[in-house]
Every structure is written in structure tokens, then in C-alpha cells.
Amino acid sequence: MDIFDDVKNYRFHVLAMGGIGMSGIANMLLDRGASVSGSDLRENSLTAGLKARGAVFKPIYELGYIPDAVIVSSAIAGGDRELLFAKEKGILILHRSSALDLLVRGKKVIAVTGSHGKTTTTSLIAWVLLQAGHDPDFYIGGVLKGVNRNAASGKGRIAVVELDESDGSVFSFSPDVCVITNLDREHIDFYRDEASQKRLYRDFIYGNESCRFFIGKHSPINWDFLYDNESIPSNASFYPDESNVMVLDTYPVGEFSSYVKASVNGAEYEAHLPLIGGHNAYNLSACLAVADFIGLDINQAVKAVESFPGVERRMDVFFQGDVLLIHDYAHHPREIKATLEALKGHFSNRRIVAVFEPHRYTRFAGLWNDFAISFDPADAVFCTDIYSASEDPIDGISPDSFVSLLKSRGKASAHVRDVMSIKEGVRKGDVVVFMGAGRAKDYAKDFIKMLSRRENWN
């Protein structure tokens, strides 16, 4: 592992480099002066940015040299050709979580994990630290707009990292401060049942006695399992309320912003947060709890969040004109409902039209009825083909059967295979939100092209 002491003398190859997590590792390595190569099934904006910074986009067997280390994620299958090549050549193979741990060692690590809200919460904390001049490392599951990066290695003493709970790798970390936003039934392909989720989180919290935990109070899965003798560990507290931070009031103001009144240690602060939805006021409370704990000036922190530029794929406004077009990463029922409720509350006099791309057969099947309920705030729902993420189909789980379920609940709905099929269902003045973790962004871009050619509205 000594190669991470001075990475500029070594060559790293990153499999699936076009993914948000793996591209983040590549960005941090490039910041440290390392030689970086990588590959993926196709190029995208993330790989283009890495190539512009000097990364090579080629399969490992076409490089013409042997890298010193190969970095993989849990999504890389055991029979992957590049992985087999690396094993045959005896190259050091590291999981993404191990590489991240090594990249931030020696720094004060602020981690954010949980089922929902991780990316926005991590981004808020990173933005506050950046504005305060701390120049932190940051590693985020989305592109922070103000810096147009999802990860960076700074010169400061603090690292802010979003930890992925989808494959359990989060539980190998030992952060100094950790926000756990909430716990929900998610990643059904990894967690056998709710009991296994609870056990891993309990072991993580109880096993890191030197870490200060801020745990989201309003969690879909209750935190009762953390209690021993009617108390949780002394190094943990719930937010808001029990972490000296309270959200006193919040309501929508202006275009895509919210007024938030919060108290920190009894002192009241007002902010115009450039995000909408009660869930984002909740994310802000986690940010303020961390800021208070590490000794930041809260007035400066509040001023910083008012300039928060947002994160790509998180209620990301793509187009404003005859319709308002938004792209959002929501792919779990809880996230979908939160996004749609926020939009309905903010644009109460406009129709909300959801274009939904289901992500993974296991998630869609396991939360089937929850997905149907989550679309209640929408006025109409278009369901695209399922993004399988390499999973095998499951009998009875299809866009057509889901549309039938939505219609049985009285929801206007249709199965669409391309954006052209949506045009007849969209009216002038609608808010159209493309939702999903797969190709939803591409659908949104195609829809914008279609809008530029449309002359008449329903």
C-alpha cells in the first residue's frame, strides 16, 4: 500500500472509469500527480473531463505497459476481461473503498452515508468548507456545480467523503465524524433483509468509538436497534433536535429556493437555501451540526450555503421555457416521493409530469407497491423501459404491468420507449421531471431537442 504515500511515481488503472464513484477516484489520483488510465463500456462527460486532465481511456491490455495498481468496484464481474488480465499479470488490485481510504488517510475524515440524501449533504458540507478556505479533499456521488468536479484532493487537513452503503464497503471505514442520514429498505440485491442492514449499521456505530456520529432522526427504519439500556452510544446523537441543531421553519420562496430558520446551540439563523423541499432543510441541519462540531463560524456557514450551486442530477434544471424540465437521480420510492412533493409544493399551480426509468429489477420488484404509491403527487407518469444494470429480468416485472398498477390507482400513465412518445401528453406550462439512475439524463436531453422542434402545445 506504500504506493499511496507518493502516487505521482505510480501508474493506476481504473475500471468502469465513467461511473460517478470511479471517476472520483481517478480525479483524486490526478490531483496527486499520478499517471491514470481507465476504461468503460462507453465514454461520457466524466471520462471526457478526465481525458482533458491527462487520463488515458483504453482497456488495460491495450496500454502497452503494466500499471502498478488496478482499482475496481463491486460492479466489476469476476470474469471481466481486464480484471482477469490484471490477475494474470500479478498487478495489485484494490477495491474503490480501499483506494479512497488510502487517499484520505492522515486527514480528518468527515463521512456521509445512509440510504437517502447523501450526495446533497456531502456537497453542502464540502461547499461550506471550500468557502471557508479549508481546501478539503472531497469525494461526492455527484458533480458539484460550483467547481464542476465530483472529487478533488485539496491541500487542507479535512476530507469530506460520501460513503457508498450499496455493497457494505462503508463499514470498513473509520471516519472521525460521520453523518448517517437515514436507513431505508434499499439495495435489495446486497442486503438480505432489514435485520442484516440493522446489524451492519449497529456494528459500524458501536465499533467506531472515536468517531462522532450524527444520525438522522427521521428515518424510515426506526433506530430502536441502536439502543442499549435505553440509550445510544455516547459518541452519537440524532439530528435535528438532539445535536444542538433545530429546523424551526421552512417554506418555498422565489425560483427554486427555500427560506429556512434554524437554531444552533440556541442561537437562531435565517437562510435562503437554493434548494426546495423539506428534505433539503433536513440535509442542511446535518451540515450545520457538522460545521458546529468542527468549530466553523455558523454565520459564515449559513452565508456559504446561500451560495450553494447545487449538484448535477439532483433536481437539476435542464430547460426553462414553455415547460420546466428537470432531471433528478431519484430511483427509490422514498426519493421519488420527496422530489415530487417538493415540486408540487413549489409549483402548486402547474401540472407535475414524471418520466420514470426503473433501475434494477430487484429494486423494482422488491418495492413494487411502494413505487406506485410514490407517484401519488404527480399528475401524470410515463414509464420507460427498465434499466437492468446487468440484472436478469424477473417474471411479471415490466413497465406495462407497472403502468397497469398506476392506472388502477387512478393515475394517468403510459409506457414509453422514446421521448417522442411523451410529447402528446405534455402541455404548455407543465413541470416535467425525468427520474432515474440510468439513462434518464439522456432521455431529458433528447426531450429538449424535441422541444426545440415543437410548434404547437396541447
Q: Is residue 402 part of a domain?
A: yes
Cβ-contact 177, 125 below 8 angstroms? no
Which of 72, 99, 126 corresponds to the end of one domain? Answer: 99
Tens digits of per-residue pLDDT, 5-25? 889 999 999 999 999 999 999
Cβ-contact 73, 141 below 8 angstroms? no
Category of 92 on φ-ψ map: left (φ > 0), alpha (ψ -120 to 50) or beta: beta
Nearest C-alpha neighbor of 244 from the set 289, 274, 195? 289
CATH at 169: 3.40.1190.10
Which of 253, 273, 306 corresponds to the end of one domain? Answer: 306
Q: Is residue 444 part of a domain?
A: yes
- Edge-to-edge strands, sheet with 380-383: 316-320, 324-328, 431-435, 352-356, 380-383, 412-415
Across 195-222, average pLDDT: 91
Between strands 35-39 and 11-15, the pairing is parallel
Task: Judge if the upstream peptide bond of residue 240 is cis by omega within 30 degrees of 0.
Answer: yes
Across 82-111, average pLDDT: 95
Say whether both 33 and 153 belong to one domain. no
Q: Is residue 311 part of a domain?
A: no
Q: Is residue 458 part of a domain?
A: no
Say whether both 115 and 260 belong to one domain. yes
Which of 306, 334, 356 corresponds to the end of one domain? Answer: 306
The pLDDT assigned to 122 comes to 98
Which of 56-65, 170-179, 256-265, 361-370 has maximum average pLDDT?
Answer: 56-65
Enclosing domain of residue 219: 104-306
User: Sorting pLDDT into bands at 50, 70 and 90, what band is 427?
Assistant: confident
Say whether both 350 and 209 belong to one domain. no
Comparing 178-192, 209-223, 356-370, 390-404, the range with the smallest average pLDDT is 178-192
User: Sorting pLDDT into bands at 50, 70 and 90, what band is 188?
Assistant: low
The pLDDT assigned to 426 comes to 86
Domain count, the chain: 3
The pLDDT assigned to 457 comes to 52
Say whether both 320 and 174 belong to one domain. no
The 3-state DSSP class for residue 24 equals helix
CATH at 44: 3.40.50.720
The 3-state DSSP class for residue 339 equals helix
Q: Is residue 46 part of a domain?
A: yes
Residues 34 and 292: their CA atoms lie apart, in Å, by 35
Across 270-293, average pLDDT: 92
Say whether both 415 and 322 belong to one domain. yes
Across 295-306, average pLDDT: 96
Q: Is residue 109 part of a domain?
A: yes
Say whether both 94 and 140 belong to one domain. no
Say whether both 29 and 114 belong to one domain. no
The pLDDT assigned to 82 comes to 94
Say whether both 251 and 384 belong to one domain. no
Say whether both 294 and 329 belong to one domain. no
Q: Is residue 226 part of a domain?
A: yes
CB atoms within 10 A of CB 189: 14
pTM of the entire structure? 0.88
The pLDDT assigned to 458 comes to 54
Category of 256 on φ-ψ map: left (φ > 0), alpha (ψ -120 to 50) or beta: left
Residues 8 and 36: their CA atoms lie apart, in Å, by 10
Say whether both 296 and 356 belong to one domain. no
Across 198-221, average pLDDT: 92
> Mean pLDDT in the chain?
90
- Indicate if the pLDDT at residue 31 is higher than 80: yes
- What are the distances in angstroms from CA 336 to CA 194, 303, 374, 424, 435? 21, 29, 6, 23, 8
Which of 124-128, 267-271, 325-329 has maximum average pLDDT?
Answer: 124-128
User: Going by C-beta distance under 8 Å and a sequence separation of 6 or more, which residues neighbour residue 184?
Assistant: 115, 116, 219, 220, 221, 332, 334
Say whether both 55 and 191 belong to one domain. no
Q: Is residue 138 part of a domain?
A: yes
Say whether both 376 and 411 belong to one domain. yes
